[in-house]
Amino acid sequence: MTPPNGTARILVVEDDPFYRRVLEKRLASEGHEVFTASDGREGMRIIVSAEPDLVLSDWMMPEVDGLELCQSVKTGLKDAAPYFILLTAKGELNDKLLGLQTGADDYMIKPCDHAELIARIRAGLRIVRLQQQLRATVAQLQALHGRRKAPDGLDPVDEEPRDGTSG
C-alpha cells in the first residue's frame, strides 16, 4: 500500500545491471522503496512477496520478458495488480500498441529522460492512490449498506413500493 507521504514501493525489472542500478538510485533519491529483479521470473516472485505499487519493467529480457510479466500480472492479480510501465528500446508504433493492449499502463522508450520518467511515475502513483481511496470508500459503503438491513433481513432498497405499483 502506498504510504501517504508520496513515496511508494517500486519494482525495477531490468536485465542490464548498469541500467537497473541507475534506475534504482534515481528512484531511491526520490524517496521510494525500490526492489530490483534481473528478469520477469524474479520480478513475479517479488511482486507476489513485496506487493509493489508500481512496476517499471524492460521488455526484452531472458527467461520471462517484460510483456509476459505484464500480461501475467494483469490477468492474475486483476484489480490488485500494480501500475505497470514498460520501459524498452522497442519504439515502433506496433510495439507500443502491443504493450498497451497487453495491459501496460504506460510505455516509455529507452533511453528516456529522467524528468519525464519521474513525471510518469508520479502520474501513475496518483492513479494508484485514487484506486486505493476508491476501494476503501466502496468497502465503507458496503459496510454501511450491510448495517441498514431491516429486522427481517430484507434489504430496504429491494422492497416493493408500498403503493402496490412495481418498479
Q: Which pLDDT score, from 0 to 100, does residue 8 have?
A: 94
Q: What is the mean pLDDT of residues 156-163?
A: 54
Provide the mean pLDDT of the chain.
86
| Residue 109 contacts residue 85 (beta carbons within 8 Å) | no
Domain ranges of the chain: 9-147
Q: Which pLDDT score, from 0 to 100, does residue 45 have?
A: 95
- Position 100 pLDDT exceeds 60: yes
Cβ count near 127 (within 10 Å) = 14
pLDDT tens by residue, 115-129 = 999 999 999 999 999
Q: What is the mean pLDDT of residues 155-159?
A: 53
The pTM of this model reads 0.80
More confidently predicted of 160 and 59: 59
- Position 138 pLDDT exceeds 80: yes
pLDDT band at 4 (very low <50, low <70, confident <90, very high): very low
| Residue 35 contacts residue 8 (beta carbons within 8 Å) | no
- Position 161 pLDDT exceeds 80: no
Enumerate the H helices of the chain as residue ranges. Answer: 17-29, 40-50, 66-77, 93-102, 114-147
Whole-angstrom distance, CA of residue 19 vs CA of residue 30? 17
More confidently predicted of 121 and 151: 121
Q: What is the mean pLDDT of residues 21-35?
A: 96
CATH number of 9-147: 3.40.50.2300
pLDDT band at 80 (very low <50, low <70, confident <90, very high): confident
- Position 160 pLDDT exceeds 60: no
C-alpha cell at 123: 502520474
C-alpha cell at 24: 534504482
